[in-house]
């Protein structure tokens, strides 16, 4: 066990400005520093990145960070570079030449962090270069993606373990997740080939968050009325891009400062809106689940879910963005009478018929002109709207078919990536100087590039044509023409920015008969989805058990009732202690499992005062946990599948 944590604290102070770690951060760092494989479970906002970035900086060599979130990858790489820490990223939006240069720099370029998306791990070029890298640590973010029991399983994560066969045995693995159940935690450690079980976790309990369910059919009216009454900034999560704009406009029309955010917006607009909200100049952001990565705003007073997420993990992670300053905050789920049927319908849409999935696969291969037996590791720009239009496919079924093909390991489907423009000088400084002397018309523009960006001789650097135009007082078109001309003269390599979805073939194209989607696996995946969905529906429809207790129980953690959720607040009004209420409740349930009773007869059977028993009976009736027949006899109501 390491005795001296001081070098790690010094790095924390130097780069982050903090003088001490949070308790679990220090425990994880000590474990990793001792060379132990470690699974760190930290709730949203717990500071996961510090647990690998600090030891990665202290130790000699480079830290390999595996994450599926390209936007987060870029955000962390940009932040590290702005701090003076050299970091690189490899993902499927890059050209083969860019990846080649980045991997060479990872070996010889004195870089401290290499971020990589999981589908790139099994490529020949990465597997060939990895043994040459001076690795000090492997960090696996969003580690729940490796488990088929997890809510966001990705087959490409299963290939991470292969890294351990081609690197020194003493390189530890740090797996991180904000939402892993005990079953998923076990699966993560097994699949990453931990040398021994080693889970470090903090309590997921958020004592300052009041979890509320509001059963309303007119959600818009409720939202406007509520946000006018309460103070502070917050997030409203919705399930569709179109709805983000509609709700933001509704709030704005009612005098509430709001804007919308989703993955389809340009990078600069998303950054502008997130910055406005983070700084407090915009009060409410209405967003899809694309909003959340890298958010460090501590004073979020409320998170409202307009619609129910598909699983508890997703809900818990998103609602956990409230109240990171440990001051009172609210997590509200709006639940209407139509939500139940919508969730039932979502199961059908989420799992298209197997033959439809095969239709989409064949159409995709033909659209991208991939012959049978080829295509493995190839990356294709993919216009899903054009694809659906050309083949006259149903939109939702097609999208979910692509996701199922990803889950089966045949493709990776990455939705819209805003890839910025990049430039790399392919001549040395001496040859560039000679070119400038001989071509005076390019001299000023080249100097502008060199003043604006660094590192362009050793690799590709992200540039912004609009910024260059502003600095030089020329039009964007002229900047673009300069870049294209210099590229044609082989002075630079210029890759213009573009916004596109990507499809990566992780296996060669198969013919239809060989495309295996076994009925057993299909049904198993569907069953797991329905189980998670039912847990979420149970949470939303249940009104007899503390919300916080239900959430923590899902993650295998015992707790006392919070006293501040909607269920606890109602129960508090009964003037009964938790102990009394639970004992009376258990007795009522036991008696009614044997026979029916009328109210007075049941109260007489319970060993408490009639007044207290009747209070609990009324509460159970109000919350639809008891049934009363035509003779006014009580029975216990058993929940159905979607109750």
Three-class HEC string of 177-224: ECCCCHHHHHHHHHHCCCCCCCEEECCCCCCCEEEEEEECCCHHHHHH
Query: Which CA distances in Å does 410 have to 373, 375, 413, 509, 593?
Result: 13, 11, 10, 8, 50
In three-state secondary structure terms, 318 is: helix
- Specify whether the CB–CB gap between 263 and 244 falls below 8 A: no
Q: How many CB atoms lie within 10 A of CB 452?
A: 15
Q: Give 162's Cβ-side CA count (13 Å radius).
A: 15
SS3 letters for 109-165? Answer: CCCCEEEECHHHCCCHHHHHHHHHCCEEEEEECCHHHHCCCCCCCCHHHHHHHHHHH
In three-state secondary structure terms, 623 is: coil
In three-state secondary structure terms, 633 is: coil
**Can you give the C-alpha Rg of the chain in angstroms?**
28
Q: The sheet that has 284-287: what strands, in order across it?
A: 209-215, 329-335, 300-305, 233-237, 284-287, 258-261
Structure tokens at 443: 């001299």
* Averaged pLDDT, groups of 10, the chain, 643 residues long: 81 92 91 95 84 96 92 87 94 89 93 94 92 96 89 88 92 92 94 95 90 93 93 94 95 96 83 91 93 80 94 92 92 88 82 92 96 92 92 92 90 81 94 94 95 92 93 94 96 90 91 86 86 91 89 90 87 72 85 86 84 83 80 74 31
The secondary structure of residue 89, as a DSSP letter, is E
Distance CA 16, CA 10 (A): 10
Q: What is the pLDDT of residue 641?
A: 32
Residue 499: phi and psi, rounded to 5, are -115, 115
Largest separation between any pair of C-alpha atoms in the chain: 104
pTM: 0.80
- Residue listed under structure tokens 């083969």: 96
Q: How many CB atoms lie within 10 A of CB 322?
A: 29
In degrees, to the nearest 5, what angle opens at C-alpha 121 toward C-alphas 521 and 102? 155
Q: Identify the bridge partners of residue 3 per DSSP, sorted by sequence position.
A: none
- Specify whether the CB–CB gap between 236 and 289 falls below 8 A: no
Helix, strand, coil fractions of the chain, as percent rounded to 5: 50, 15, 35
List the one residue out of 304, 261, 250, 309 whose CA is nearest residue 286: 261
- Residue listed under structure tokens 């009104």: 543
Q: What is the pLDDT of residue 630?
A: 83
- CA dihedral (369, 375, 381, 385) in degrees, to 10, reads 50
Classify the phi-psi angles of 17: left when phi > 0, otherwise alpha if psi is within -120 to 50, otherwise beta: left
- Residue listed under structure tokens 């080693």: 198
């Amino acid at each position: 066990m390491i005795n001296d944590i001081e070098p790690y604290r010094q790095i924390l102070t130097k780069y982050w400005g903090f003088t001490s770690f949070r308790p679990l951060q220090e425990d994880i760092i000590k474990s990793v520093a001792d060379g132990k494989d470690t699974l760190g479970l930290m709730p949203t906002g717990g500071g996961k990145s510090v647990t690998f970035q600090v030891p990665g900086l202290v130790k000699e060599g480079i830290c390999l960070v595996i994450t599926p979130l390209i936007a987060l990858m870029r955000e962390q790489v940009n932040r590290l570079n702005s701090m003076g820490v050299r970091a690189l990223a490899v993902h499927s939006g890059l050209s083969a030449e860019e990846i080649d240069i980045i991997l060479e720099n990872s070996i010889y370029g004195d870089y401290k962090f290499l971020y990589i998306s999981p589908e790139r791990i099994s490529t020949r070029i990465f597997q060939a270069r990895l043994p040459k890298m001076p690795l000090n640590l492997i960090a696996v973010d969003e580690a729940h993606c490796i488990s088929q029991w997890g809510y966001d399983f990705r087959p490409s994560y299963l290939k991470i373990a292969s890294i351990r066969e081609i690197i020194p045995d003493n390189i530890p693995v740090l797996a991180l997740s904000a939402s892993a159940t005990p079953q998923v935690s076990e699966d993560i450690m097994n699949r990453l080939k931990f040398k021994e079980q080693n889970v470090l976790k903090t309590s997921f309990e958020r004592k300052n968050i009041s979890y509320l369910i509001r059963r309303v059919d007119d959600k818009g009216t409720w939202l406007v009325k509520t946000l006018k009454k309460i103070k502070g900034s917050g997030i409203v999560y919705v399930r569709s891009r179109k709805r983000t704009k509609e709700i933001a406009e509704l709030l704005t029309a009612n005098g509430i400062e709001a804007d919308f955010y989703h993955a389809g917006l340009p990078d600069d607009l998303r950054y502008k809106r997130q910055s406005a909200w983070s700084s407090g100049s915009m009060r409410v952001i209405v967003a899809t689940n694309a909003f959340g990565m890298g958010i460090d705003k501590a004073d979020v007073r409320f998170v409202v879910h307009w619609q129910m997420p598909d699983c508890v993990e997703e809900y818990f992670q998103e609602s956990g963005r409230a109240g990171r300053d440990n001051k009172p905050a609210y997590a509200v789920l709006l639940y209407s009478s139509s939500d139940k049927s919508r969730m039932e319908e979502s199961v059908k849409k989420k799992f298209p018929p197997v033959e439809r999935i095969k239709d989409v696969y064949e159409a995709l291969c033909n659209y991208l002109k991939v012959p049978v037996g080829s295509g493995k590791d190839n990356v294709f720009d993919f216009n899903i709207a054009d694809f659906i239009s050309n083949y006259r496919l149903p939109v939702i079924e097609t999208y979910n078919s692509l996701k199922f093909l990803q889950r089966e390991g045949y493709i990776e489907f990455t939705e819209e990536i805003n890839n910025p423009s990049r430039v790399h000088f392919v001549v040395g400084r001496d040859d560039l100087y000679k070119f400038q002397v001989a071509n005076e018309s390019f001299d000023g523009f080249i100097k502008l590039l060199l003043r604006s960006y660094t590192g362009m001789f050793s690799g590709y650097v992200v540039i912004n044509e609009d910024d260059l135009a502003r600095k030089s007082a020329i039009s964007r078109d002229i900047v673009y023409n300069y870049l294209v001309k210099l590229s044609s003269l082989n002075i630079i390599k210029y890759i213009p920015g573009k916004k596109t979805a990507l499809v990566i073939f992780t296996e060669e194209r198969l013919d239809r008969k060989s495309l295996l989607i076994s009925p057993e696996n299909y049904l198993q995946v569907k069953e797991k989805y329905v189980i998670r969905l039912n847990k979420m529906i149970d949470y939303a429809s249940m009104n007899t058990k503390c919300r916080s207790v239900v959430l923590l129980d899902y993650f295998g953690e015992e707790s006392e009732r919070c006293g501040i959720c909607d269920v606890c607040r109602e129960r508090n009004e009964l003037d009964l202690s938790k102990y009394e209420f639970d004992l009376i409740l258990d007795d009522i349930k036991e008696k009614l499992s044997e026979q029916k009773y009328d109210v007075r007869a049941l109260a007489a059977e319970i060993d408490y005062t009639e007044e207290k028993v009747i209070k609990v009976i009324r509460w159970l009736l109000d919350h639809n946990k008891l049934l009363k027949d035509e003779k006014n006899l009580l029975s216990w109501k058993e929940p159905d599948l979607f109750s």
